[in-house]
C-alpha cells in the first residue's frame, strides 16, 4: 500500500504517517518547509521516526494550497512507487474564538485555502492514478464543529470544515463507479501541538486523546473501497460501535 499524508510534520499527520508505515505501507509525507504558526515539528523529524522504525518514507516539501507544488508532490510519489492507494488529507488551519469582524478577508482566504482548497487540490491530483488502478481511499479530516454551531468553531473554522464535509460526500458519489472510497474522519479533541497553543483547550486537556489514538481508525478507512465503506462521516469516538470492525458498517 502507498499512502500520501499531508500536514505530516507534527500532531495527527505525524501519528497517522507512522501508523501507516508501521502497518507496512510506503508513506509519502508532505508539509510546508516552514510552518507559519511556529509550532514545533518538522517533516524531517517525521521521516526520521519512520526510517528508524524500519519504514519506507518519501518526504516532500509541499504547500497544499499551491497547485504546482501539489502536482509535483504527486508526480514524485508516482515516479517512486508507481501508484497511490490512499490519500489522508490532514493539513489544516484552526481559527477559534474570533468574530467575523476580527477576521480580515486575507485571513479568511488563507484558512479556506488550506482547509477546503487543499483537500480539493490533493484529491484532484491523485484521482487519475486511483481511477486507472480501479481502487483507492481518500480520507478527509472533518470536525463536529462543521455540524454543531454550539461547539464554538466560529464562522470561519466551522464554515471551512462544513465545506470539507459536503465536498467529501459529493466526491464519494462522483467516484463511486471507480471503486474509490471517500470518507470524513472526525478525530475529536486531541492533545496536539496546535490545540496546546489555544488557551481554552486547557480546560478539557485531561479528556483529550493523543493523536496516535486515531491510528486504528485511519488504517481501517485506508483499507476501504466504494463497495465496502464510502460517503460516511466517521467519528473516532464511535469506532468499533457504530462503524468499523465487528459492526458490519
Choose, from 20, 81, 120, 157, the residue flagged as catalytic.
157
Assigned domain for 14 exists: yes
The domain that contains 206 carries what CATH number?
3.40.50.720
Whether 246 is covered by a domain: the verdict is no
Residue whose cell numbers read 460516511: 232
Torsion over CA of 238, 240, 244 and 249, rounded to 10 degrees?
-80
> What is the per-residue pLDDT across 56-115, written as a single tens digit (0 to 9) for each?
999 999 999 999 999 999 999 999 999 999 999 999 998 888 999 999 999 999 999 999
pTM (predicted TM-score): 0.93
Backbone φ and ψ of 59, nearest 5°: -100, 130
228 pLDDT exceeds 80?
Answer: yes
The pLDDT, as a whole number, for residue 40 is 77
Whether 226 has a pLDDT exceeding 90, the answer reads yes
Q: Which residues of 184-198 are buried (b: 16+ CB within 10 A; e: fewer)?
A: bbbbbebbbbbbbee
In a domain, 248, yes or no: no
Query: Which domain does 176 fall in, by range?
Result: 2-238
**Active-site residue, 157 included:** yes
The confidence score (pLDDT) of residue 88 equals 98
pLDDT score of 204:
57
Amino acid at each position: 500500500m502507498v499512502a500520501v499524508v499531508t500536514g505530516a510534520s507534527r500532531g495527527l499527520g505525524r501519528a497517522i504517517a507512522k501508523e501507516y508505515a508501521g502497518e507496512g505501507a510506503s508513506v509519502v509525507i508532505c508539509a510546508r518547509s516552514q510552518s507559519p504558526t511556529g509550532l514545533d515539528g518538522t517533516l524531517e523529524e517525521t521521516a526520521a521516526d519512520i526510517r528508524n522504525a524500519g519504514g519506507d518514507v518519501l518526504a516532500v516539501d509541499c504547500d497544499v494550497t499551491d497547485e504546482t507544488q501539489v502536482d509535483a508532490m504527486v508526480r514524485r510519489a508516482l515516479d517512486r512507487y508507481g501508484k497511490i492507494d490512499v490519500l489522508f488529507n490532514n493539513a489544516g488551519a484552526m481559527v477559534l474564538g474570533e468574530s467575523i469582524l476580527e477576521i480580515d478577508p486575507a485571513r479568511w482566504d488563507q484558512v479556506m485555502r488550506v482547509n477546503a482548497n487543499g483537500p480539493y487540490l490533493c484529491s484532484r491530483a491523485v484521482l487519475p492514478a486511483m481511477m486507472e488502478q480501479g481502487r483507492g481511499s481518500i480520507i478527509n479530516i472533518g470536525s463536529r464543529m462543521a455540524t454543531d454551531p454550539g461547539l464554538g468553531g466560529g464562522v470561519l473554522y466551522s464554515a471551512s470544515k462544513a465545506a470539507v464535509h459536503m465536498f467529501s460526500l459529493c466526491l464519494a458519489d462522483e467516484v463511486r463507479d471507480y471503486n474509490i472510497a471517500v470518507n470524513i474522519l472526525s478525530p475529536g479533541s486531541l492533545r496536539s501541538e496546535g490545540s496546546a497553543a489555544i488557551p481554552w483547550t486547557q480546560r478539557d486537556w485531561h479528556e483529550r486523546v493523543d493523536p496516535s489514538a486515531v491510528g486504528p481508525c485511519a488504517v481501517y478507512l485506508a483499507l476501504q473501497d466504494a463497495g465496502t465503506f464510502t460517503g460516511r462521516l466517521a467519528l473516532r469516538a464511535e469506532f468499533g460501535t457504530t462503524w468499523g470492525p465487528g459492526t458490519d458498517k
